[in-house]
Amino acid sequence: MNLKFDSVFLSKIRINDLEITYSEKEKSGTIPISRIKAFEVVEGTITEYGYLKITTDSEEHVVHFISNHNKGLRQIQEKLGFSNQTEPLSVKEMVEVEKESGSDYMRPLETNPVKIYISVEGIRYIVLGKEMMIRADKIKSVTYKKAKFLSLGLLTIQTDADSVTIKTSSYFNSALEKWVDDINSGVYQINQNFKVSRIAYNKGFVSNSERNIACAWYKVTGINPNTNRRKSETFPWLRETPVEDIEKASGLLGPYECEQLPDRMPSDAQLEYARRIGVIIPRDATMEDASIFLTRKENNKPLHQVGVAEWLVKKYICELKVYIPLYANLAEAHSQYYYSLSVKERIVYFAMKVYDENKGAKYLFPHEATQIEQEKFRVFAEEYYRDNKFMESFERYSAEDLPIDGTIKKRLKAYDMANSYL
């Protein structure tokens, strides 16, 4: 998501997956999506401007817009899981939501003596204690004959070498019919080889498993070594990590207080929107994951995709302290990193990418460069941050244009200015 809502002579609003930036007359602001507590859209009319009111823990931001943007900002509001007035679901709506969850084929499908587990990797099944696995890239086709009152269902999986038939109960009907539908529509991908990019690390960037390493937000309170006063640090870290490791990662000194913060679960508005457009949100998904699934659906991309390689997820979380949603793919994880940076830090990253391409370096992140190179990137950012021509060109680059696993996708004026400087 990388959207612009420009109201000529009034305001500019930019929205991506991680932040909202705006400017109106002499005021401007940047609001991380993760800190938004309320997102209210008051629509404009022919004679009056509309306004967007965004509330965080500590601030309230109001920016006006013209009526042409009513629909677009309403869609963003819905996608982010907010509404002007959140009402509880009716009994009928609750029944519909529960009905939809029955077709979630990513949940465990278990009734003795058959157990079926479907993931982006493929299908694992257990029949009478015997366990088998069929990888998604080996599957040629899948058909399902639903179970009826007096007969079992038949799930038939065709591979290059064999055909497997699994007898199932009616409990699996909705989920397996949905799986077959998603296969036929391309939402669930089969019979494809996953291409893995490689660089000097000699490691793949992606994993054939959608879910690799889960992280959570932690709050650690300790002693600031610089001031000798109590201080709190909030940051993401790996789940199920010893408390001592999390406390050490805070950079503070003991005695400590360490708390794992609750996950932000999908909102009622997100779940309702997902239900309406036919997206099943996994039970372990967070609000950030829900946004990922809704964006994929809107962009007509497969809902379930390969995940990020374990070594890279750990690098994002443990070295850079970037929160990576459980269901993020490589591009989505990179967006989480890129949009967590300040504008100057993004210019530093951009300078490193240009340097990589033209000097033969193979850095993934600026902190991996030598001290001399890091200083060169930093000084470039300090100088060109105030250069209007550079910034006008640079702002046309998105995270997608600066992929972690490849070259810069387009060569604009900012590229040539950086290359000439470096």
User: CATH number, domain at 63?
Assistant: 2.30.29
d(CA 272, CA 276): 6
Q: Same domain, yes or no, for 159 and 181? A: yes
Single-letter code of the amino acid located at 3:
L
pLDDT at 417: 94
pLDDT at 381: 94
Residue 364 backbone phi and psi in degrees, to 5? -90, -35
Which of these ranges, 14-18, 82-86, 162-166, has the smallest mean pLDDT? 82-86
pLDDT at 98: 44
Phi-psi category of residue 25: left, alpha or beta, with phi > 0 → left and psi -120 to 50 → alpha: left
pLDDT bin (cut points 50, 70, 90) of residue 236 is very high
How many CB atoms are located within 10 Å of the residue 330 CB? 21
Half-sphere exposure (CA, 13 Å, Cβ side) for 69?
A: 26
pTM for the structure as a whole: 0.61
Tens of pLDDT, residue by residue over 27-56, are: 888 888 878 888 888 888 777 788 888 988
Question: Using an 8 Å Cβ cutoff, are 116 and 125 in contact?
Answer: yes
pLDDT at 354: 94
Decide which of 155 and 185 is more confident.
Answer: 155
Q: Same domain, yes or no, for 151 and 255? A: no
Tens of pLDDT, residue by residue over 123-155, are: 889 888 788 888 887 888 999 998 886 788 899
268: helix, coil or strand? helix
Percent of the chain residues topping a pLDDT of 90? 32
pLDDT at 97: 42
pLDDT higher than threshold 80 for residue 203: no
What's the mean pLDDT in 74-92?
Answer: 65
Q: Same domain, yes or no, for 54 and 133? A: no
What's the mean pLDDT in 205-223?
Answer: 77
Whether 100 maps to a domain, the answer reads: no
Decide which of 198 and 152 is more confident.
Answer: 152
Q: What is the mean pLDDT of the chain?
A: 84
pLDDT bin (cut points 50, 70, 90) of residue 243 is very high
Which residue range(s) make up the domain with 7? 2-80
pLDDT higher than threshold 90 for residue 362: no
pLDDT at 333: 92
pLDDT bin (cut points 50, 70, 90) of residue 207 is low
Q: Same domain, yes or no, for 302 and 207? A: yes
Paired tokens of 297: 């659906």
Single-letter code of the amino acid located at 307:
G
What's the mean pLDDT in 183-204?
Answer: 58
Whether 103 maps to a domain, the answer reads: no
Q: Same domain, yes or no, for 210 and 263? A: yes
Paired tokens of 352: 């490193």
d(CA 108, CA 385): 51
Decide which of 398 and 304 is more confident.
Answer: 398
Q: Same domain, yes or no, for 171 and 206? A: no
186: helix, coil or strand? coil
Q: Same domain, yes or no, for 199 and 324? A: yes
d(CA 391, CA 379): 15
Q: Same domain, yes or no, for 161 and 142? A: yes
Whether 70 maps to a domain, the answer reads: yes
Which of these ranges, 68-82, 183-197, 260-274, has the smallest mean pLDDT? 183-197
Provide the domain count of the chain.
4
DSSP bridge partners of 154 = 145, 167
pLDDT higher than threshold 60 for residue 199: no
pLDDT higher than threshold 60 for residue 244: yes
Q: Same domain, yes or no, for 331 and 379? A: no
Burial of 278: CB neighbours in 10 Å, binned 0-12, 13-18, 19+ = middle
Which of these ranges, 35-39, 200-204, 355-359, 415-419, has the smallest mean pLDDT? 200-204
Percent of the chain residues topping a pLDDT of 70? 89
Whether 303 maps to a domain, the answer reads: yes
Whether 96 maps to a domain, the answer reads: no
Q: Same domain, yes or no, for 199 and 330? A: yes
Q: What is the DSSP string of 199-264?
A: -TT-S-SEESSS----EEEEEEEEE-TTT-SEEEEEEEEETT--HHHHHHHTT-EEEEEEEEPPP-
- Cα angle, residue 334 at apex, residues 197 and 219 outer, rounded to 5°: 135
In order of 13, 24, 26, 43, 130, the CA distances from 29 in angstroms are 10, 9, 11, 21, 59
Q: Same domain, yes or no, for 180 and 222? A: no
What's the mean pLDDT in 262-276?
Answer: 87
* DSSP 8-state symbol, 67: G
Question: Using an 8 Å Cβ cutoff, are 155 and 176 in contact?
Answer: yes
